[in-house]
């Protein structure tokens, strides 16, 4: 009996470590990996790690929260790969919670995950999970992109991915004809499916902490979907933080929502290379197992 219990505890610990390891491959601002996981009584809590805030480029922690949202999505898909159904509460302290003062002090979780049910992962979830294990989701590298690649089918799938997480994705091109992009307060923009789109924007209805967590989960789902479809993608985070970019994008999109991320889509030019994955923080820095 003692042995059985020890075995069960060991495998629980191994499962948790595998999930947190998978989550650590999520994209993050300047590869800061600004998260910490705490395992409690049958729950896994995600915290922001305030020591990883880049105050100069991300003063109010918007991109930090997006990064944590991305790690949350990676944890969700890692649990699904193992046949668990995660029951997730984002910002249990309320949708406005997660501001600099409270969350960044690491006192309350950004999200709580419980697992109460089991169901095998479906085919598409397995594809997304496999993409996460590449450890390098969709990153196109930072060089020039092949502009003539037809993205028509991929863009539709990426829009669906963003929408399923409560965000929206629209594409920009250089035709100057963006009339049919967003109108209204929260653009479900982007029925633009005419291919040759190298730049997409990911947005949310507003810019509260909960919207930033939504943006992070949507970013992760979009990047994993892009990877699963073989489309290199590279996120650019400061779309909202630089006034000129924010205003310009808002004008182009005719949107009153919040552009959270720009995502470059497409393969590098011939001779260009995809970037190498950055090293991840060791589990000892990002995971605490209580008890």
Ligand X SMILES: Cc1cc2nc3c(=O)[nH]c(=O)nc-3n(C[C@H](O)[C@H](O)[C@H](O)COP(=O)(O)O)c2cc1C
Choice between 181 and 234, CB closer to ligand X:
234
Count of alpha carbons within 13 Å of 60, Cβ hemisphere only? 10
Largest Cα–Cα distance in the chain?
A: 70
Q: What does the block give as tokens for 49?
A: 């790690």
CA 101, distance to chain mean position in Å, is 23
Q: Is 24 in the site for ligand X (CB under 6 A)?
A: no
49 touches 57 (CB < 8 A): no
Q: Is 9 in the site for ligand X (CB under 6 A)?
A: no
CB of 274 to ligand X, least distance (A): 9
Strand partners, 203: 168, 259
Judged by CB under 6 A, how many residues of this single chain contact ligand X? 20
First to last CA, the chain: 20
CB of 32 to ligand X, least distance (A): 8
Among 19, 27, 204, 250, binds ligand X (CB under 6 A): 27
Q: Is 31 in the site for ligand X (CB under 6 A)?
A: yes
Q: Is 226 in the site for ligand X (CB under 6 A)?
A: no
Among 13, 107, 119, 142, binds ligand X (CB under 6 A): 142
For residue 34, the surrounding DSSP H or E stretch is none
Residue 61 burial (CB < 10 Å; 0-12/13-18/19+)? buried
Q: Is 235 in the site for ligand X (CB under 6 A)?
A: yes
CB of 8 to ligand X, least distance (A): 33
Q: Is 227 in the site for ligand X (CB under 6 A)?
A: no
For residue 70, the surrounding DSSP H or E stretch is helix 62-81
Q: Residue with the closest Cβ to ligand X?
A: 237
Calpha distance 122→214 (Å, rounded)? 23
Q: Is 268 in the site for ligand X (CB under 6 A)?
A: no
Among 96, 147, 277, 282, binds ligand X (CB under 6 A): 277
Q: Is 139 in the site for ligand X (CB under 6 A)?
A: yes
By CB under 6 A, name the binding residues for ligand X. 27-31, 63, 66-67, 70, 136, 139, 142, 234-238, 275, 277-278
């Amino acid at each position: 009996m003692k042995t059985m219990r020890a075995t069960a505890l060991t495998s629980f610990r191994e499962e948790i470590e595998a999930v947190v390891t998978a989550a650590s491959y999520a994209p993050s601002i300047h590869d800061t990996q600004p998260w910490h996981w705490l395992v409690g009584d049958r729950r896994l809590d995600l915290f922001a790690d305030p020591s990883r805030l880049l105050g100069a480029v991300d003063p109010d922690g918007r991109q930090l929260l997006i990064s944590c949202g991305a790690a949350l999505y990676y944890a969700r898909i890692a649990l699904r790969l193992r046949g668990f159904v995660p029951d997730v509460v984002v910002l249990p302290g309320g949708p406005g919670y997660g501001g600099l003062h409270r969350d960044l002090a690491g006192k309350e979780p950004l999200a709580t995950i419980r697992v109460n049910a089991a169901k095998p992962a479906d085919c598409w979830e397995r594809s997304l999970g496999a993409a996460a294990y590449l450890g390098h989701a969709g990153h196109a590298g930072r060089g020039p992109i092949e502009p003539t690649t037809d993205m028509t089918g991929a863009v539709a799938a990426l829009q669906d991915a963003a929408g399923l997480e409560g965000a929206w994705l629209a594409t920009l091109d250089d035709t100057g004809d963006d009339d049919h992009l967003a109108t209204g307060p929260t653009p479900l923009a982007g029925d633009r499916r005419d291919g040759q789109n190298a730049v997409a924007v990911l947005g949310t209805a507003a810019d509260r902490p909960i919207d930033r967590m939504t943006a992070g989960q949507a970013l992760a789902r979009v990047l994993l979907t892009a990877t699963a479809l073989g489309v290199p993608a590279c996120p650019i985070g400061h779309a909202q933080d630089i006034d000129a970019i924010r205003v310009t994008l808002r004008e182009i999109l005719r949107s009153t929502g919040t552009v959270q991320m720009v995502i470059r889509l497409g393969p590098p030019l011939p001779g260009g290379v995809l970037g190498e994955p950055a090293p991840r923080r060791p589990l000892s820095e990002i995971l605490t197992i209580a008890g």
